[in-house]
Amino acid sequence: MATGIRDKVAIIGMGCSRFGERWDMSAEGLMVEAFEECLQDAGLGRDDIQAAWLGTCMDEVNVGKSALPLSRALRLPFIPVTRVENYCASGTEAFRGAVYAVASGAYDICLAQGVEKLKDTGYGGLPNPGSGAGALNWLWFPNMSAPGAFAQLASAYGAKYNIPDETLKRAMAHVSSKSHANGLLNPKAHLKKAITVEQVMAAPIIAHPLGLFDCCGVSDGSACAIVTTVEKAQELGKQGLISVKALQLALSSGEEMGFDDWDGDHFATTDHCSLRAYEEAGIKNPREEISMMELHDCFSITELVTYEDLHISKRGEAVKDVLNGFYDRDGGVPAQIDGGLKCFGHPIGASGLRMLYEMYLQLQGRAGERQLDNPKYGLTHNLGGFPFMNVCSIAIIGKYEN
């Protein structure tokens, strides 16, 4: 009988590059930057790693289709390395592969790494039918943009709950302003500048009601994790273990576009994925038990709606919770403690592991100025695709208790 992943696997090392316009670095250089920190944190040598997973999305403008860039750049000792891609969940997908590998007993120690190098490749997030991505790029992407699709989500959400446009825009502005305040404290963030709610609301409109500061940017970055079983971590003398409580993945089934039950105001995948994650982690009341979150804030409305899809805010009440400061750094469930995609940008393959890196530091009490008071559970959430067709991954990690 399936028992899930709870407390079977421990994270014993993590590393994260500085995110930004890294003209000075190749994708391989970014991987090395994150890996060196990770290896030192774990107190291991590269020869201790028995298998690895590489998460990266935009292969044609990045590292290519194979896993060779990882094994060559890190000089891994002729071990199996697997490249995975699942849109914006690619980094978490690499983590899932490494976690399941050690949990299965196939390996003792595995590496998960995510990377994306976008800034000097000409990639700006616009449709590119010639990239070789098949039917999605040829048939869907030329007819839409990400800001346009998520602006429709905002309009649908506001209409569903009868929220005045000005109120919704102010709540979204608070989401962005809060993240910038957090990112200001993070030396590895791309954008380190505070912005006010008024500045967000006065910014140029990109796709109504989303303005410039409601949108995350494009950047370069890498992050990685070394995992092992709890038993092996204890054999290595590791103290204060951080263990994986849940790992869940949900993909659109076609129901959003094929039936009229979905009215465009939320993410059906996150709704299902979060409930399975809470069950796996043994969490009964996420609003009370989740200590902190890193969410996929590609747009401010995405973060706001996700509060409800994660069953932390009640349906239609996320705006009220946001404006009351519930998700601020000193609120009930702080979100985007490191600044989120809003301040790190979104090097696609790296984002999921970058989120886990912040949760890991917080749980170990090593987050410096950003440190929260004694967190227990940290949740990360990735969303790849569009509101009507997407991939959702959720990870929950926390302090290991015997």
Under 8 Å CB-to-CB from 53, ≥6 apart: which residues?
81, 82, 83, 84, 93, 94, 95, 97, 98, 101, 110, 111, 112, 113
Hey, what are 248's tokens? 């869940």
Number of domains within the chain = 2
Active site (catalytic) residues: 88, 346
Domain annotation covers residue 231: yes
Q: Are residues 54 and 186 in the same domain?
A: no
Q: How confident is the model at residue 402 (pLDDT cuts 50, 70, 90)?
A: confident
Q: Are residues 226 and 251 in the same domain?
A: no
Hey, what are 66's tokens? 């194979």
Q: Are residues 302 and 157 in the same domain?
A: yes
Q: What is the pTM of this model?
A: 0.95
pLDDT of res. 130? 47
Domain annotation covers residue 22: yes
Q: Are residues 238 and 305 in the same domain?
A: no
pLDDT tens by residue, 163-217: 999 999 999 999 999 999 999 999 999 999 999 999 999 999 999 999 999 999 9
DSSP 136: I
pLDDT of res. 144? 72
Domain annotation covers residue 139: no
Residue 164 sits in a domain of what CATH number? 3.40.47.10
Q: Are residues 50 and 150 in the same domain?
A: no
Domain annotation covers residue 384: yes
pLDDT of res. 3? 85
Q: Are residues 320 and 358 in the same domain?
A: yes
Q: How confident is the model at residue 146 (pLDDT cuts 50, 70, 90)?
A: confident
User: Which helix or strand (DSSP H or E) is residue 60 part of?
Assistant: none
Is 133 in a helix, a strand, or coil? coil
Are 278 and 289 a contacting pair, CB within 8 Å? no
User: Which helix or strand (DSSP H or E) is residue 181 part of?
Assistant: helix 165-183
Domain annotation covers residue 136: no
Q: How far apart are the first and last CA of the chain?
A: 22
* Burial profile 207-229: b = 16 or more Cβ within 10 angstroms, e = fewer: bebbbebbbbbbbbbbbbbbbbb
Domain annotation covers residue 333: yes
Mean pLDDT for 7-30 is 96
Residue span of the structural domain in which 75 resides = 9-125+220-243
Distance of alpha carbon 43 from alpha carbon 329, whole angstroms? 31
Q: Are residues 38 and 185 in the same domain?
A: no
pLDDT tens by residue, 295-318: 999 999 999 999 999 999 999 999
Q: Are residues 94 and 152 in the same domain?
A: no
pLDDT at 125 over 80: no
Q: Name the more confident of 48 and 123.
A: 48
Q: Are residues 233 and 250 in the same domain?
A: no
Hey, what are 222's tokens? 């890498």
Distance of alpha carbon 62 from alpha carbon 80, whole angstroms? 21
Q: Are residues 102 and 148 in the same domain?
A: no
Closest CA to 71 of 60, 79, 62: 79
SS in 3 state form for 367-384?
CHHHCCCCCCEEEEEEEE
Closest CA to 235 of 99, 44, 35, 4: 44
Q: How confident is the model at residue 60 (pLDDT cuts 50, 70, 90)?
A: low
Domain annotation covers residue 138: no
Q: Are residues 199 and 340 in the same domain?
A: yes
Q: Are residues 41 and 67 in the same domain?
A: yes
Domain annotation covers residue 132: no
